[in-house]
Structure 1
């Protein structure tokens, strides 16, 4: 099967931009402007800084220190082991804008929030491709209307144009995707993609994980379960994606109240408002390389205003 059959919605307005081949088909992407900025020195803590997709390649020198897996070590901390203890390193934001792939199965309201934030310049990244298991869903329609290529994944019995996992990995790598953002994507992510993009795939879930997560807990089902349990609080969770549903490390959460007379629809609307804000804030941090790791493997976000603070 030729890969050109799975790319949809190319905008003719983008034709002057450089073309990138996928199989025998060419489609155009928006040009990415180069930015240069830097973070102040981190003097109090020692973290591993995530930068882009976690490919199995060696980085000879990055940010003034040597690394084999994109690790940048800062000054010593009691909580994190440092092979270069006492050696202060100044971290820098990568000059180029990050390339984002968003996965959706439905209306894609979080996808739209991220894309709009990119267009207005509040995050240093661009959504360059949309992946969906439903080619006619609202998120796919929005992508086509905005000149964003759409890929169908996984293959379905009634669809002839879908990709298998290895084809999807190859395509995303060819596009040089840095981060994968799940935004209402209801299929389990294949192990091939998780291994290719270690620590670079994120999902948003409409409850405070680990509560009300796992297979079968999605959409309105989650909010009905929260209300039925008597829980007084709920809210969105953004977490890293592993090989199971909703079990990856939690990166960010936001709390909303569950009111005494709430319906599932009212609670869903309240949570969704927070989702739109939280996901954009997290993607901003990703694009600015502000994700750091505690020694115990818990990811934290470094404050943009005060790099010595994490949350």
Structure 2
């Protein structure tokens, strides 16, 4: 049984997709050990409570330094003894000590087809604004392993979504979530839970 910790900053729609996937068997052999947020007002924490999942807020605002916050964040993650960490809209830079400790055991969902529209500064609506400004015809989402860079880890799954002429950033964001993010993130967790993923030479191999 794969124990996962989901880390999220906002509403938690991807968290909900994971919760639903575990319940309906789309994600097999998996239990959600806990949910961690950096935002005390994140609705994701309420989603966890409603579903009886342990949840906690670790906010950088409550620590005197980034270093002390990073230490507490890692300690909180470790306390859940996760096999896999899932970043589902977690808008905090992961400390190097954590990426090293959980190498190839931490995944992230990003709302673009990496390597397009990714890296520092590309998050939330900003990704979709940039995609529309560039006039791309196809958008999408990527699940990748987390390394020391920003959106630079080995790519696990990607799914493309059509961009329509009348799209606004908000409309495109919703379509990418519904047609890509909520599908490939549960799929990625299920693959890992069933031993079907390995990382070789900074690339993933699906067995």
Tell me, yes or no, whether TM beats 0.5.
yes
CA contact (8 A) 1:236 1:254 kept: yes
- Change in 2 beyond 3 A, CA 1:185/1:171: closer
Instruction: Decide which of 156, 177, 181 is 1:272's aligned counterpart.
Output: 177
- The CA deviation at 1:155 is 2.9
Which residue of structure 2 aligns with residue 8 of structure 1? Answer: none
Describe the SS at the equivalent of 1:118. helix
CA distance in 2, matches of 1:179, 1:98: 7
Instruction: Decide which of 110, 115, 138 is 2:14's aligned counterpart.
Output: 110
CA distance in 2, matches of 1:157, 1:180: 23
Which residue of structure 2 aligns with residue 141 of structure 1? Answer: 46
Which residue of structure 2 aligns with residue 263 of structure 1? Answer: 168
CA distance in 1, matches of 2:202, 2:92: 26
- The CA deviation at 1:174 is 3.7
Which residue of structure 2 aligns with residue 231 of structure 1? Answer: 136
Q: Summarize deviations over 1:169-207 as a string: whole Å, max 9, x none.
A: 344334321000000111111111111111111100101
- The CA deviation at 1:166 is 3.1
CA distance in 2, matches of 1:138, 1:152: 12
Describe the SS at the equivalent of 1:129. strand
CA distance in 2, matches of 1:104, 1:293: 25
Please state which structure has a larger fraction of its residues in helix: 2
CA distance in 2, matches of 1:118, 1:100: 11
Q: Summarize deviations over 1:44-92 as a string: whole Å, max 9, x none.
A: xxxxxxxxxxxxxxxxxxxxxxxxxxxxxxxxxxxxxxxxxxxxxxxxx
CA contact (8 A) 1:104 1:139 kept: yes
Describe the SS at the equivalent of 1:214. coil
Describe the SS at the equivalent of 1:270. helix
Return the TM-score normalized by structure 2. Answer: 0.90
Please state which structure has a larger fraction of its residues in strand: 2
Over the aligned positions, Cα root-mean-square deviation in angstroms equals 1.8
Larger Rg: 1
Which residue of structure 2 aligns with residue 293 of structure 1? Answer: 199
Which residue of structure 2 aligns with residue 93 of structure 1? Answer: none
Instruction: Decide which of 269, 278, 282 is 2:188's aligned counterpart.
Output: 282
Instruction: Decide which of 149, 155, 174 is 1:244's aligned counterpart.
Output: 149
Which residue of structure 2 aligns with residue 217 of structure 1? Answer: 122
The runs of at least 4 aligned residues of structure 1 exceeding 6 Å deviation read: none
CA contact (8 A) 2:107 2:144 kept: yes
Q: 1:82-101 to 2 correspondence within 5 Å?
A: 97-101=1-5
- The CA deviation at 1:107 is 0.5
